[in-house]
Structure 1
Protein backbone atom coordinates (compact mmCIF):
# COMPACT_ATOMS: atom_id res chain seq x y z
CA UNK A 1 0.00 0.00 0.00
CA UNK A 2 2.88 2.31 0.87
CA UNK A 3 4.44 1.76 -2.57
CA UNK A 4 1.17 2.59 -4.28
CA UNK A 5 0.92 5.85 -2.34
CA UNK A 6 4.45 6.83 -3.33
CA UNK A 7 3.71 6.14 -7.00
CA UNK A 8 0.50 8.17 -6.86
CA UNK A 9 2.35 11.00 -5.14
CA UNK A 10 5.04 11.11 -7.83
CA UNK A 11 2.45 11.03 -10.60
CA UNK A 12 0.60 13.96 -9.03
CA UNK A 13 3.88 15.87 -8.69
CA UNK A 14 4.69 15.37 -12.37
CA UNK A 15 1.18 16.35 -13.44
CA UNK A 16 1.26 19.46 -11.27
CA UNK A 17 4.62 20.53 -12.75
CA UNK A 18 4.73 19.09 -16.32
CA UNK A 19 7.51 21.44 -17.33
CA UNK A 20 10.02 19.59 -15.11
CA UNK A 21 10.25 16.31 -17.12
CA UNK A 22 10.14 18.22 -20.41
CA UNK A 23 12.97 20.46 -19.25
CA UNK A 24 14.99 17.42 -18.20
CA UNK A 25 14.43 15.72 -21.57
CA UNK A 26 15.32 18.93 -23.41
CA UNK A 27 18.63 19.26 -21.54
CA UNK A 28 19.48 15.61 -22.21
CA UNK A 29 18.65 16.04 -25.91
CA UNK A 30 20.88 19.13 -26.18
CA UNK A 31 23.73 17.26 -24.50
CA UNK A 32 23.59 14.31 -26.90
CA UNK A 33 23.07 16.59 -29.90
CA UNK A 34 26.33 18.37 -29.10
CA UNK A 35 28.16 15.01 -29.08
CA UNK A 36 26.47 13.43 -32.09
CA UNK A 37 29.63 13.80 -34.22
CA UNK A 38 31.51 11.60 -31.76
CA UNK A 39 29.04 8.74 -32.13
CA UNK A 40 30.34 5.71 -34.04
CA UNK A 41 28.51 2.51 -34.87
CA UNK A 42 30.67 -0.57 -35.40
CA UNK A 43 28.70 -3.38 -37.05
CA UNK A 44 31.68 -5.74 -37.31
CA UNK A 45 31.68 -9.21 -35.82
CA UNK A 46 33.90 -7.91 -33.00
CA UNK A 47 31.15 -5.65 -31.71
CA UNK A 48 28.24 -7.98 -32.41
CA UNK A 49 29.69 -11.03 -30.63
CA UNK A 50 31.44 -11.69 -27.34
CA UNK A 51 35.23 -11.76 -27.56
CA UNK A 52 35.34 -15.32 -26.15
CA UNK A 53 32.56 -16.60 -28.41
CA UNK A 54 33.40 -20.16 -29.49
CA UNK A 55 31.55 -19.87 -32.80
CA UNK A 56 33.43 -16.70 -33.68
CA UNK A 57 36.78 -18.36 -32.96
CA UNK A 58 35.81 -21.38 -35.06
CA UNK A 59 34.71 -19.13 -37.92
CA UNK A 60 38.01 -17.26 -37.83
CA UNK A 61 40.00 -20.49 -37.84
CA UNK A 62 38.11 -21.64 -40.94
CA UNK A 63 38.61 -18.27 -42.60
CA UNK A 64 42.33 -18.38 -41.84
CA UNK A 65 42.59 -21.81 -43.45
CA UNK A 66 40.46 -21.26 -46.56
CA UNK A 67 40.72 -17.51 -47.14
CA UNK A 68 38.59 -14.46 -46.56
CA UNK A 69 34.91 -14.28 -47.47
CA UNK A 70 34.33 -10.59 -48.11
CA UNK A 71 32.15 -10.35 -51.19
CA UNK A 72 29.13 -8.70 -52.77
CA UNK A 73 26.57 -10.27 -55.08
CA UNK A 74 24.87 -8.59 -58.03
CA UNK A 75 21.73 -10.20 -59.42
CA UNK A 76 21.11 -9.59 -63.12
CA UNK A 77 17.74 -10.26 -64.79
CA UNK A 78 17.77 -9.04 -68.41
CA UNK A 79 14.70 -7.90 -70.28
CA UNK A 80 15.67 -10.11 -73.22
CA UNK A 81 16.79 -13.74 -73.26
CA UNK A 82 19.86 -14.19 -71.05
CA UNK A 83 21.99 -15.93 -73.66
CA UNK A 84 21.10 -13.64 -76.56
CA UNK A 85 24.08 -11.88 -78.15
CA UNK A 86 22.86 -8.43 -77.03
CA UNK A 87 22.41 -9.53 -73.40
CA UNK A 88 25.74 -11.34 -73.25
CA UNK A 89 27.48 -8.22 -74.58
CA UNK A 90 25.63 -6.07 -72.01
CA UNK A 91 26.61 -8.47 -69.21
CA UNK A 92 30.23 -8.48 -70.37
CA UNK A 93 30.39 -4.68 -70.31
CA UNK A 94 28.96 -4.63 -66.79
CA UNK A 95 31.40 -7.28 -65.60
CA UNK A 96 34.37 -5.47 -67.14
CA UNK A 97 33.43 -2.14 -65.56
CA UNK A 98 32.89 -3.68 -62.13
CA UNK A 99 36.33 -5.30 -62.33
CA UNK A 100 37.97 -1.86 -62.65
CA UNK A 101 36.76 -0.71 -59.20
CA UNK A 102 39.72 -0.42 -56.81
CA UNK A 103 38.21 -2.37 -53.92
CA UNK A 104 37.16 -5.30 -56.12
CA UNK A 105 39.71 -8.12 -56.25
CA UNK A 106 37.94 -10.22 -58.89
CA UNK A 107 34.60 -10.67 -60.64
CA UNK A 108 32.98 -14.03 -61.37
CA UNK A 109 30.00 -14.40 -63.70
CA UNK A 110 28.62 -17.02 -66.08
CA UNK A 111 31.19 -15.68 -68.54
CA UNK A 112 34.08 -16.63 -66.24
CA UNK A 113 33.28 -20.03 -64.72
CA UNK A 114 35.05 -23.09 -66.17
CA UNK A 115 33.13 -25.08 -68.79
CA UNK A 116 34.03 -28.76 -68.99
CA UNK A 117 31.42 -29.96 -71.49
CA UNK A 118 31.27 -27.23 -74.11
CA UNK A 119 32.56 -29.34 -75.85
CA UNK A 120 33.68 -32.13 -73.46
CA UNK A 121 37.40 -32.08 -72.68
CA UNK A 122 39.75 -34.43 -70.85
CA UNK A 123 41.50 -33.46 -67.63
CA UNK A 124 44.82 -33.15 -69.46
CA UNK A 125 43.27 -30.65 -71.87
CA UNK A 126 42.08 -28.37 -69.08
CA UNK A 127 45.09 -28.86 -66.79
CA UNK A 128 46.68 -25.53 -67.71
CA UNK A 129 43.55 -23.43 -68.20
CA UNK A 130 39.88 -24.35 -68.11
CA UNK A 131 37.83 -22.92 -70.98
CA UNK A 132 35.20 -20.25 -70.30
CA UNK A 133 32.33 -18.77 -72.32
CA UNK A 134 34.54 -16.59 -74.52
CA UNK A 135 37.43 -19.05 -74.88
CA UNK A 136 38.33 -20.01 -78.46
CA UNK A 137 36.59 -23.25 -79.37
CA UNK A 138 33.76 -22.91 -76.84
CA UNK A 139 30.43 -23.96 -78.34
CA UNK A 140 27.97 -21.28 -77.18
CA UNK A 141 24.91 -23.52 -77.36
CA UNK A 142 26.66 -26.27 -75.41
CA UNK A 143 27.86 -23.66 -72.91
CA UNK A 144 24.28 -22.48 -72.39
CA UNK A 145 23.13 -26.05 -71.82
CA UNK A 146 25.98 -26.75 -69.38
CA UNK A 147 25.33 -23.61 -67.35
CA UNK A 148 21.61 -24.34 -67.13
CA UNK A 149 21.94 -28.00 -66.22
CA UNK A 150 25.20 -28.40 -64.32
CA UNK A 151 24.69 -28.96 -60.59
CA UNK A 152 27.73 -26.73 -60.08
CA UNK A 153 25.97 -23.69 -61.50
CA UNK A 154 22.19 -24.22 -61.56
CA UNK A 155 20.47 -22.31 -58.71
CA UNK A 156 23.87 -20.96 -57.66
CA UNK A 157 25.17 -18.64 -60.36
CA UNK A 158 22.15 -18.98 -62.63
CA UNK A 159 18.48 -19.63 -61.84
CA UNK A 160 16.84 -22.89 -62.91
CA UNK A 161 14.65 -21.06 -65.44
CA UNK A 162 17.67 -19.32 -66.97
CA UNK A 163 16.21 -15.84 -66.50
CA UNK A 164 18.45 -14.55 -63.72
CA UNK A 165 22.17 -14.80 -63.10
CA UNK A 166 24.50 -13.65 -60.35
CA UNK A 167 27.78 -11.77 -60.46
CA UNK A 168 30.16 -12.37 -57.56
CA UNK A 169 32.40 -9.47 -56.52
CA UNK A 170 35.31 -10.69 -54.39
CA UNK A 171 36.62 -7.76 -52.37
CA UNK A 172 40.20 -6.89 -51.49
CA UNK A 173 41.22 -7.68 -47.93
CA UNK A 174 43.06 -5.29 -45.64
CA UNK A 175 45.95 -7.59 -44.76
CA UNK A 176 47.32 -5.22 -42.11
CA UNK A 177 43.99 -5.19 -40.29
CA UNK A 178 43.69 -8.99 -40.48
CA UNK A 179 47.15 -9.44 -38.96
CA UNK A 180 46.35 -7.01 -36.15
CA UNK A 181 43.09 -8.85 -35.39
CA UNK A 182 44.99 -12.15 -35.18
CA UNK A 183 47.50 -10.59 -32.77
CA UNK A 184 44.74 -9.08 -30.65
CA UNK A 185 42.79 -12.35 -30.51
CA UNK A 186 45.90 -14.24 -29.40
CA UNK A 187 46.39 -11.73 -26.57
CA UNK A 188 42.72 -11.98 -25.62
CA UNK A 189 43.03 -15.74 -25.29
CA UNK A 190 46.00 -15.28 -22.96
CA UNK A 191 43.99 -12.80 -20.92
CA UNK A 192 41.14 -15.29 -20.58
CA UNK A 193 43.58 -17.91 -19.33
CA UNK A 194 45.07 -15.43 -16.85
CA UNK A 195 48.59 -15.57 -18.30
CA UNK A 196 48.76 -12.05 -19.76
CA UNK A 197 51.80 -10.04 -18.62
CA UNK A 198 51.75 -6.29 -17.95
CA UNK A 199 53.58 -5.53 -21.20
CA UNK A 200 51.18 -7.73 -23.14
CA UNK A 201 48.24 -5.99 -21.48
CA UNK A 202 49.56 -2.64 -22.74
CA UNK A 203 50.14 -4.17 -26.16
CA UNK A 204 46.54 -5.45 -26.21
CA UNK A 205 45.19 -1.98 -25.42
CA UNK A 206 47.38 -0.41 -28.10
CA UNK A 207 46.38 -2.92 -30.77
CA UNK A 208 42.69 -2.61 -29.86
CA UNK A 209 42.85 1.17 -30.34
CA UNK A 210 44.66 0.77 -33.66
CA UNK A 211 42.06 -1.74 -34.85
CA UNK A 212 39.30 0.71 -33.95
CA UNK A 213 40.97 3.40 -36.07
CA UNK A 214 41.51 0.97 -38.95
CA UNK A 215 37.88 -0.11 -38.81
CA UNK A 216 36.72 3.49 -39.11
CA UNK A 217 38.87 3.86 -42.23
CA UNK A 218 37.45 0.59 -43.56
CA UNK A 219 33.88 1.77 -42.96
CA UNK A 220 34.54 4.97 -44.91
CA UNK A 221 36.23 3.03 -47.71
CA UNK A 222 33.40 0.50 -47.90
CA UNK A 223 30.81 3.28 -48.02
CA UNK A 224 32.63 4.82 -51.00
CA UNK A 225 32.97 1.40 -52.64
CA UNK A 226 29.27 0.59 -52.32
CA UNK A 227 28.36 4.03 -53.67
CA UNK A 228 30.69 3.51 -56.65
CA UNK A 229 29.29 0.05 -57.40
CA UNK A 230 25.72 1.33 -57.21
CA UNK A 231 26.59 4.17 -59.58
CA UNK A 232 27.96 1.63 -62.08
CA UNK A 233 24.91 -0.62 -61.74
CA UNK A 234 22.55 2.30 -62.34
CA UNK A 235 24.08 2.79 -65.78
CA UNK A 236 23.03 -0.73 -66.81
CA UNK A 237 19.48 -0.86 -65.46
CA UNK A 238 18.00 0.23 -68.78
CA UNK A 239 18.26 -3.35 -70.08
CA UNK A 240 18.04 -5.45 -66.91
CA UNK A 241 16.77 -5.63 -63.37
CA UNK A 242 19.90 -5.32 -61.26
CA UNK A 243 20.22 -5.54 -57.48
CA UNK A 244 23.17 -5.44 -55.10
CA UNK A 245 23.46 -7.57 -51.96
CA UNK A 246 25.99 -8.83 -49.44
CA UNK A 247 27.14 -8.29 -45.87
CA UNK A 248 29.44 -5.29 -46.63
CA UNK A 249 26.52 -3.49 -48.30
CA UNK A 250 24.18 -4.25 -45.40
CA UNK A 251 26.79 -2.98 -42.93
CA UNK A 252 27.16 0.27 -44.88
CA UNK A 253 23.39 0.76 -45.03
CA UNK A 254 23.03 0.06 -41.30
CA UNK A 255 25.54 2.76 -40.46
Structure 2
Protein backbone atom coordinates (compact mmCIF):
# COMPACT_ATOMS: atom_id res chain seq x y z
CA UNK A 1 0.00 0.00 0.00
CA UNK A 2 1.53 3.37 -0.99
CA UNK A 3 1.60 6.34 1.31
CA UNK A 4 -1.29 8.36 -0.14
CA UNK A 5 -3.56 5.36 0.36
CA UNK A 6 -2.21 5.03 3.88
CA UNK A 7 -3.31 8.59 4.59
CA UNK A 8 -6.67 8.05 2.96
CA UNK A 9 -7.29 4.78 4.75
CA UNK A 10 -6.47 6.23 8.15
CA UNK A 11 -8.53 9.39 7.59
CA UNK A 12 -11.52 7.39 6.41
CA UNK A 13 -11.39 5.01 9.38
CA UNK A 14 -10.86 7.75 11.99
CA UNK A 15 -12.72 10.52 10.20
CA UNK A 16 -15.23 11.30 12.95
CA UNK A 17 -12.58 11.43 15.64
CA UNK A 18 -10.26 13.65 13.57
CA UNK A 19 -13.11 15.92 12.54
CA UNK A 20 -14.41 16.48 16.06
CA UNK A 21 -10.97 17.15 17.53
CA UNK A 22 -9.99 19.49 14.70
CA UNK A 23 -13.24 21.48 14.85
CA UNK A 24 -12.96 21.88 18.61
CA UNK A 25 -9.37 23.11 18.43
CA UNK A 26 -9.81 25.67 15.64
CA UNK A 27 -12.81 27.17 17.44
CA UNK A 28 -10.62 27.52 20.53
CA UNK A 29 -7.89 29.39 18.59
CA UNK A 30 -10.36 31.67 16.86
CA UNK A 31 -9.08 35.12 17.85
CA UNK A 32 -10.96 36.67 14.91
CA UNK A 33 -14.28 35.89 16.60
CA UNK A 34 -15.51 34.21 13.43
CA UNK A 35 -17.46 31.89 15.70
CA UNK A 36 -19.66 34.82 16.76
CA UNK A 37 -20.81 35.11 13.15
CA UNK A 38 -21.05 31.48 12.04
CA UNK A 39 -22.25 28.45 13.95
CA UNK A 40 -20.16 25.55 15.23
CA UNK A 41 -21.86 23.40 12.61
CA UNK A 42 -20.42 25.65 9.89
CA UNK A 43 -16.95 25.02 11.30
CA UNK A 44 -17.64 21.31 11.16
CA UNK A 45 -18.86 21.58 7.56
CA UNK A 46 -15.76 23.51 6.48
CA UNK A 47 -13.44 21.01 8.19
CA UNK A 48 -15.34 18.08 6.73
CA UNK A 49 -15.09 19.59 3.25
CA UNK A 50 -11.31 19.91 3.59
CA UNK A 51 -11.08 16.23 4.53
CA UNK A 52 -13.17 15.40 1.46
CA UNK A 53 -10.70 17.35 -0.67
CA UNK A 54 -7.77 15.31 0.72
CA UNK A 55 -9.52 11.99 0.15
CA UNK A 56 -10.78 12.85 -3.33
CA UNK A 57 -7.42 14.27 -4.39
CA UNK A 58 -5.60 11.07 -3.52
CA UNK A 59 -8.24 8.85 -5.09
CA UNK A 60 -9.01 10.85 -8.24
CA UNK A 61 -6.33 13.52 -8.88
CA UNK A 62 -8.08 15.05 -11.89
CA UNK A 63 -9.37 18.49 -12.84
CA UNK A 64 -12.39 18.04 -10.56
CA UNK A 65 -10.02 17.87 -7.61
CA UNK A 66 -8.53 21.25 -8.54
CA UNK A 67 -11.98 22.75 -9.02
CA UNK A 68 -12.91 21.54 -5.55
CA UNK A 69 -9.87 23.32 -4.11
CA UNK A 70 -10.76 26.53 -5.97
CA UNK A 71 -14.39 26.40 -4.81
CA UNK A 72 -13.31 25.67 -1.24
CA UNK A 73 -10.84 28.58 -1.20
CA UNK A 74 -13.48 30.93 -2.58
CA UNK A 75 -15.88 29.86 0.16
CA UNK A 76 -13.26 30.65 2.83
CA UNK A 77 -12.93 34.15 1.38
CA UNK A 78 -16.70 34.60 1.48
CA UNK A 79 -16.78 33.48 5.11
CA UNK A 80 -14.17 36.12 5.95
CA UNK A 81 -11.54 33.70 7.23
CA UNK A 82 -8.16 35.44 7.38
CA UNK A 83 -5.06 33.91 5.83
CA UNK A 84 -3.34 33.56 9.19
CA UNK A 85 -6.31 31.74 10.69
CA UNK A 86 -6.44 29.33 7.74
CA UNK A 87 -2.71 28.59 7.99
CA UNK A 88 -3.08 27.95 11.73
CA UNK A 89 -6.09 25.70 11.15
CA UNK A 90 -4.27 23.59 8.56
CA UNK A 91 -1.34 23.34 10.94
CA UNK A 92 -3.65 22.11 13.69
CA UNK A 93 -5.02 19.40 11.42
CA UNK A 94 -1.50 18.25 10.52
CA UNK A 95 -0.55 18.00 14.18
CA UNK A 96 -3.70 16.04 15.03
CA UNK A 97 -3.17 13.65 12.12
CA UNK A 98 0.50 13.19 13.02
CA UNK A 99 -0.33 12.59 16.68
CA UNK A 100 -2.82 9.87 15.83
CA UNK A 101 -0.92 8.16 13.02
CA UNK A 102 2.50 8.36 14.69
CA UNK A 103 1.27 7.00 17.99
CA UNK A 104 3.33 3.99 19.14
CA UNK A 105 5.65 4.46 16.14
CA UNK A 106 9.42 4.52 16.23
CA UNK A 107 11.34 7.76 15.74
CA UNK A 108 12.39 6.58 12.28
CA UNK A 109 8.77 5.87 11.32
CA UNK A 110 7.72 9.28 12.62
CA UNK A 111 10.37 11.02 10.51
CA UNK A 112 9.23 9.05 7.49
CA UNK A 113 5.65 10.06 8.14
CA UNK A 114 6.66 13.77 8.28
CA UNK A 115 8.47 13.41 4.96
CA UNK A 116 5.49 11.72 3.34
CA UNK A 117 3.10 14.32 4.75
CA UNK A 118 5.23 17.07 3.25
CA UNK A 119 5.32 15.20 -0.04
CA UNK A 120 1.60 14.47 -0.41
CA UNK A 121 -0.47 16.82 1.74
CA UNK A 122 1.64 20.01 1.91
CA UNK A 123 1.29 20.62 -1.88
CA UNK A 124 -2.50 20.49 -1.50
CA UNK A 125 -2.30 23.03 1.32
CA UNK A 126 -0.03 25.29 -0.73
CA UNK A 127 -2.41 25.14 -3.69
CA UNK A 128 -5.34 25.89 -1.39
CA UNK A 129 -3.54 28.96 0.00
CA UNK A 130 -2.56 30.11 -3.51
CA UNK A 131 -6.15 29.83 -4.67
CA UNK A 132 -7.32 31.63 -1.53
CA UNK A 133 -4.93 34.53 -2.24
CA UNK A 134 -6.10 34.68 -5.87
CA UNK A 135 -9.78 34.61 -4.89
CA UNK A 136 -9.24 37.21 -2.17
CA UNK A 137 -7.48 39.54 -4.63
CA UNK A 138 -10.30 39.19 -7.16
CA UNK A 139 -12.85 39.94 -4.46
CA UNK A 140 -10.93 43.02 -3.32
CA UNK A 141 -10.62 44.27 -6.91
CA UNK A 142 -14.35 43.85 -7.52
CA UNK A 143 -15.14 45.66 -4.27
CA UNK A 144 -12.74 48.44 -5.20
CA UNK A 145 -14.38 48.88 -8.59
CA UNK A 146 -17.84 48.92 -6.99
CA UNK A 147 -16.74 51.51 -4.42
CA UNK A 148 -15.16 53.64 -7.12
CA UNK A 149 -18.37 53.59 -9.12
CA UNK A 150 -20.42 54.44 -6.05
CA UNK A 151 -18.02 57.21 -5.03
CA UNK A 152 -18.85 59.27 -8.13
CA UNK A 153 -22.20 58.18 -9.61
CA UNK A 154 -23.83 60.15 -12.41
CA UNK A 155 -27.61 60.00 -12.04
CA UNK A 156 -30.06 61.13 -14.75
CA UNK A 157 -33.01 62.96 -13.13
CA UNK A 158 -34.71 64.45 -16.21
CA UNK A 159 -34.17 64.16 -19.93
CA UNK A 160 -30.79 65.74 -20.68
CA UNK A 161 -30.18 66.61 -16.99
CA UNK A 162 -27.94 64.57 -14.70
CA UNK A 163 -26.67 64.94 -11.15
CA UNK A 164 -23.40 63.80 -9.60
CA UNK A 165 -23.71 63.83 -5.79
CA UNK A 166 -20.31 63.86 -4.11
CA UNK A 167 -19.87 62.66 -0.53
CA UNK A 168 -16.66 62.61 1.49
CA UNK A 169 -13.18 63.86 0.75
CA UNK A 170 -11.87 64.22 -2.78
CA UNK A 171 -8.30 63.14 -3.46
CA UNK A 172 -6.41 62.93 -6.74
CA UNK A 173 -7.47 59.34 -7.48
CA UNK A 174 -11.13 60.05 -6.79
CA UNK A 175 -10.96 63.27 -8.83
CA UNK A 176 -9.76 61.21 -11.77
CA UNK A 177 -12.72 58.86 -11.33
CA UNK A 178 -15.10 61.83 -11.13
CA UNK A 179 -13.72 63.21 -14.38
CA UNK A 180 -14.05 59.84 -16.17
CA UNK A 181 -17.61 59.25 -14.94
CA UNK A 182 -18.64 62.78 -15.88
CA UNK A 183 -17.36 62.59 -19.44
CA UNK A 184 -18.67 59.06 -20.03
CA UNK A 185 -22.02 59.90 -18.43
CA UNK A 186 -22.53 63.09 -20.44
CA UNK A 187 -22.16 61.10 -23.65
CA UNK A 188 -24.14 58.08 -22.43
CA UNK A 189 -27.11 60.08 -21.11
CA UNK A 190 -26.85 62.81 -23.76
CA UNK A 191 -26.80 65.34 -20.97
CA UNK A 192 -27.09 69.02 -21.73
CA UNK A 193 -26.73 70.09 -18.10
CA UNK A 194 -24.74 68.40 -15.34
CA UNK A 195 -25.16 69.32 -11.66
CA UNK A 196 -22.22 68.54 -9.37
CA UNK A 197 -23.64 68.46 -5.85
CA UNK A 198 -20.93 69.09 -3.21
CA UNK A 199 -23.34 69.21 -0.25
CA UNK A 200 -21.67 66.11 1.21
CA UNK A 201 -18.08 67.30 0.69
CA UNK A 202 -16.88 68.33 4.18
CA UNK A 203 -13.90 70.45 3.13
CA UNK A 204 -13.28 72.43 -0.03
CA UNK A 205 -9.65 73.53 -0.22
CA UNK A 206 -7.59 74.77 -3.15
CA UNK A 207 -6.97 71.25 -4.49
CA UNK A 208 -10.63 70.21 -4.26
CA UNK A 209 -11.75 73.44 -5.92
CA UNK A 210 -9.17 72.90 -8.66
CA UNK A 211 -10.53 69.40 -9.34
CA UNK A 212 -14.11 70.70 -9.46
CA UNK A 213 -13.16 73.51 -11.84
CA UNK A 214 -11.34 71.01 -14.07
CA UNK A 215 -14.39 68.73 -14.09
CA UNK A 216 -16.64 71.64 -14.98
CA UNK A 217 -14.34 72.70 -17.82
CA UNK A 218 -14.21 69.13 -19.15
CA UNK A 219 -18.00 68.97 -19.23
CA UNK A 220 -18.12 72.25 -21.17
CA UNK A 221 -15.62 70.91 -23.71
CA UNK A 222 -17.89 67.96 -24.55
CA UNK A 223 -20.82 70.28 -25.20
CA UNK A 224 -22.70 70.36 -21.90
CA UNK A 225 -23.14 72.96 -19.18
CA UNK A 226 -22.09 72.40 -15.58
CA UNK A 227 -23.59 73.75 -12.37
CA UNK A 228 -22.00 73.47 -8.93
CA UNK A 229 -24.68 73.11 -6.28
CA UNK A 230 -24.69 72.68 -2.52
CA UNK A 231 -22.26 75.50 -1.73
CA UNK A 232 -22.92 76.06 1.96
CA UNK A 233 -22.07 79.40 3.63
CA UNK A 234 -18.90 78.04 5.23
CA UNK A 235 -17.78 76.59 1.90
CA UNK A 236 -18.47 79.92 0.18
CA UNK A 237 -16.42 81.73 2.82
CA UNK A 238 -13.55 79.27 2.38
CA UNK A 239 -13.60 79.75 -1.40
CA UNK A 240 -13.50 83.55 -0.96
CA UNK A 241 -10.67 83.37 1.59
CA UNK A 242 -8.64 81.13 -0.71
CA UNK A 243 -9.14 83.56 -3.58
CA UNK A 244 -10.57 80.84 -5.84
CA UNK A 245 -12.21 82.25 -8.95
CA UNK A 246 -15.56 80.64 -9.79
CA UNK A 247 -16.77 83.47 -12.00
CA UNK A 248 -16.94 81.21 -15.06
CA UNK A 249 -18.98 78.55 -13.24
CA UNK A 250 -22.69 78.70 -12.41
CA UNK A 251 -23.23 78.00 -8.72
CA UNK A 252 -26.35 77.43 -6.62
CA UNK A 253 -26.66 76.98 -2.88
CA UNK A 254 -28.98 73.94 -3.08
CA UNK A 255 -29.79 71.04 -5.35
CA UNK A 256 -33.36 72.25 -5.67
CA UNK A 257 -32.29 75.63 -7.06
CA UNK A 258 -29.81 73.86 -9.29
CA UNK A 259 -32.53 71.65 -10.77
CA UNK A 260 -34.73 74.71 -11.37
CA UNK A 261 -31.87 76.44 -13.19
CA UNK A 262 -31.11 73.30 -15.23
CA UNK A 263 -34.75 73.08 -16.34
CA UNK A 264 -34.66 76.70 -17.46
CA UNK A 265 -31.47 76.01 -19.44
CA UNK A 266 -33.31 73.22 -21.27
CA UNK A 267 -36.39 75.42 -21.87
CA UNK A 268 -38.49 73.83 -19.15
CA UNK A 269 -39.78 74.91 -15.78
CA UNK A 270 -41.70 73.55 -12.82
CA UNK A 271 -45.38 74.52 -12.81
CA UNK A 272 -47.70 74.02 -9.87
CA UNK A 273 -50.96 72.39 -10.96
CA UNK A 274 -52.79 73.16 -7.71
CA UNK A 275 -55.44 70.92 -6.24
Higher relative contact order (CA 8 A, sep 6+): 1
Q: Structure 2 length as normaliser, TM-score?
A: 0.24
Give the helix-richer structure, 1 or 2: 2
- Per the normalisation by structure 1, the TM-score is 0.25
